[in-house]
Structure 1
Amino acid sequence: DPSGRVYRIGADGRIDILLRNCPSPNGLVLDALQTSLFVAMTGDNSVWLGPLYPDGSVQRTGRFSTYFGVGGPDGMTTDSEGNIFVAHSTLGTVFVHQKDGTLMICITTGHIGYGTINLS
């Protein structure tokens, strides 16, 4: 959404706004327990983390990780151990973080400026 909103579609088809006025929200992923929402904020060059409450709402967010350079994080995915993989749109790098935000490894393609953007 160009205005910086992140939506949730409920099982009943209802659409709710989870986050507003975000700096270019892009990729998003849930943790394995579906209790935490990670959102790539490309315009902030960071990933935000928001706890999901039982009613499906997000009350407060904070920065999970921050990056450098032009562009910002784009696509994300998780693995079976709960690690978060973040593709940066211009660095040619995928950053791998543990659940607590600790950076584990950087996977570099060697093609800075080219799109490492989508992960699944």
Structure 2
Amino acid sequence: MVLGTDRLELGEGIRWTDDHAVLTDILSGRLLAAPDDPTAPHTPIARLPCPLGAVAPVEGRPGHWIAAAGTGVCRVDPAGRAEWIARPEDDAPVPMRMNDGVADPQGRFWAGSMAHDATGDAGSLYRLDRDGRVTRVLRDITVPNGPAFTADGTLMYLADSARGVIRRYRVDPASGDLGTPEPFVTLASGSPDGMTTDTEGGLWTAVWGLGQVHRYHPDGALDRIIDLPAAQPAGLCLGGTDGRTLLVTSAHIGLPAPGPFDGAVFAVRVDVPGTPASPYRPTVPSAPAPTDRADTP
């Protein structure tokens, strides 16, 4: 089923929260709510004057979001106003923007950056801790997508879409420190894009360029392929009242002749449920300067 009449330029960052799905159209800076009615348009929530990759709800503050946007991370209030927490990519040697991002089960927010022109190895992964500290934890990524976390927050999956690879990292639940990366899946064609996990520990990923969504078992074995009538699936999540609706965004950017469903949002019923998006859970912020902990190539 197709949700809504809109066709997005670069639909991404879809999350199930507060009994509905929110998503971004990255380059237009728009945060949208997806409708239940296939004949209705998406509902605008906010529009930033910069690219908007993904958001997480803020615990206990309805209508407030933490966003991977522009060259960093900001808070977005119910009026759509942005308050910047950090802009670590302002002084990068090439023009940069934030891409995908998500909160982990412990309440931290993680977001990746990439060059506007996808310059190789220009991207990084940042972590916003609950106290407001922003730390670069990985560098030398070209197009980071995800991350996605297991339900207990002890494993993180991160795609480098340009390389066709998904890596898995052990995560210290208390500190957020990452272990040594392990290769999880390498695609022979297409690019792994947005990701999410389900309650059995399976990993779902949108496959840009193939018009598919893949589900992998925790050991990396391919379990299922879902074909979509859109060439560039980009973001996904599991939602709905029972967590068994797979919601997938797509994009028409770069296609010389987009089809009728390129840029659409799709809903597909699946067997294994997921859980709603984790919120960012702030403590009293101390507003420290950003630090750099990226010691993994």
Q: Same fold (TM over 0.5)?
A: yes
Q: Which residue of 1 aligns with 2:126?
A: 7
Equivalent residue number for residue 149 of structure 2 = 30
The SS at the match of 2:167 is strand
Matched, 1:51 2:184: no
Amino acid at match of 1:32: A
Distance 2:189 2:218 in 1: 24
Q: Determine which structure has more spread, i.e. the larger CA radius of gyration.
A: 2
Instruction: Give the aligned length.
Output: 117
Question: 5+ unaligned residues in a row in structure 2: which ranges?
Answer: 1-112, 115-121, 238-297
The residue that corresponds to 2:232 in the other structure is 115
Deviations 1:49-89 (A, max 9, x none): 1111242111311211111225x111111112111001111
Q: 1:78 to 1:59 in 2, by over 3 A?
A: closer
Q: Which runs of 4+ in 1 moved over 3 A?
A: none
Which amino acid is the alignment partner of residue 20 of structure 1? R
Contact 1:19 1:58 in 2 (8 A): no
Task: State, as a whole percentage, how many aligned pairs show the same letter.
Answer: 30
- Measured in 2, the distance between the counterparts of 1:68 and 1:117 equals 18
- Ranked by relative contact order (alpha carbons within 8 Å, sequence separation 6 or more), the top structure is 2
Find the aligned partners of 2:169 and 2:136 in 1 and give their Cα distance: 13
Cα RMSD between the aligned structures?
1.4
Displacement after TM superposition at 1:110 (Å):
5.1
Would the aligned equivalents of 1:92 and 1:108 in 2 still touch at CA under 8 Å?
yes
Aligned to 1:89: 208
